[in-house]
Amino acid sequence: MSGGGKRPGNSSRWLRRQSTDPYVKAAKAQGYRSRAAYKLTELADKYRLFKPGQRVVDLGAAPGGWLQVACAEVGDTGKVVAVDLTAIDPVPGAVLIEADVAAEGLSARILEALGGKAGLVLSDMAPSTTGHAETDHMRIIGLAEAALELAGELLAPGGAFVVKLRQGGGEPAFFRQVQTRFTSVVRAKPPASRSESAEIYLVARGFKPG
């Protein structure tokens, strides 16, 4: 499980791309842990996802780029809880939970840490890749479904949900699942998402409990 922005290998191609990527350079200059932070800021600006004092859950938060953005956006009066399989270096203002998203009792732990229902659930989770396109696609759909299930337990009425997918055949059915739980669902590809990448995001707003 990953929060995005992790190094996919040591290939010279990857190193060349990183050295010329303006988002990588900007992330280093501004202290973000990954270029993925800009994907969230672009989505947040377009869809007005954050509010001061908001309760936010970040699923698959490592290495912490989205977490940094969320903590800055909600401010000192907000609350942010991060979940990942791997340990995350502390981010001021965030509560960190090291766990699998499918772990029993996780939603109760998150709600206790939040002190109430969330206004926004974020998921930038990505599975370890196998190199087999169909298998990798189904794995990311599985993570998205787990994130949606958690969001259903965590969100307050009217809350929002952002989840990463990859195009590959299974996402229309998942899109329909999300539509049954929210009043508005759109597909989005922020500018910081590389054009050659198959990743897209679903931005769902207006959570309908039950």
Domain coverage including residue 144: 12-207
Using one digit for the tens of pLDDT, what is the confidence trace for 161-177? 999 998 877 788 999 99
Using one digit for the tens of pLDDT, what is the confidence trace for 80-93? 999 999 999 999 99
CATH code, domain with 143:
3.40.50.150
Report if residue 153 sits inside a domain.
yes
Q: What is the pLDDT of residue 190?
A: 94
Mean pLDDT in residue range 34-52:
95
Please determine, for residue 14, whether its predicted confidence score (pLDDT) is greater than 50: no
Report if residue 3 sits inside a domain.
no
Cis upstream peptide for 127 (omega within 30°)? no
Mean pLDDT in residue range 191-202:
88
Report if residue 112 sits inside a domain.
yes
Determine what percent of the chain is predicted with pLDDT higher than 70.
90
Q: Is the CB of residue 160 less than 8 Å from the CB of residue 119?
A: yes
Mean pLDDT in residue range 44-50:
97
Q: What is the pLDDT of residue 15?
A: 41
Report if residue 5 sits inside a domain.
no
Which residue would you say has higher pLDDT here, 71 or 20? 71
* Structural domains of the chain, count: 1
CA distance 52 to 37: 18
Please determine, for residue 10, whether its predicted confidence score (pLDDT) is greater than 80: no
Mean pLDDT in residue range 62-79:
97
Q: Any idea which residue has 């979940």 for tokens?
A: 83
Report if residue 128 sits inside a domain.
yes
DSSP 39-99: HHHHHHHHHT---TT-EEEEES-TT-HHHHHHHHHH-TTSEEEEEESS-----TTEEEEES
Which residue would you say has higher pLDDT here, 134 or 203? 203
Using one digit for the tens of pLDDT, what is the confidence trace for 118-153? 999 999 998 877 777 778 888 899 999 999 999 999
Report if residue 7 sits inside a domain.
no
Q: What is the pLDDT of residue 132?
A: 73
Q: What is the pLDDT of residue 20?
A: 58
Write out the catalytic residue numbers: 164
Report if residue 2 sits inside a domain.
no
Report if residue 6 sits inside a domain.
no
First to last CA, the chain: 28
Which segment of 3-12, 37-46, 116-125, 199-208 scores lowest on mean pLDDT?
A: 3-12
Return the top range by mean pLDDT from 5-9, 16-20, 34-38: 34-38
Q: Any idea which residue has 């002190």 for tokens?
A: 115
Mean pLDDT in residue range 42-52:
97
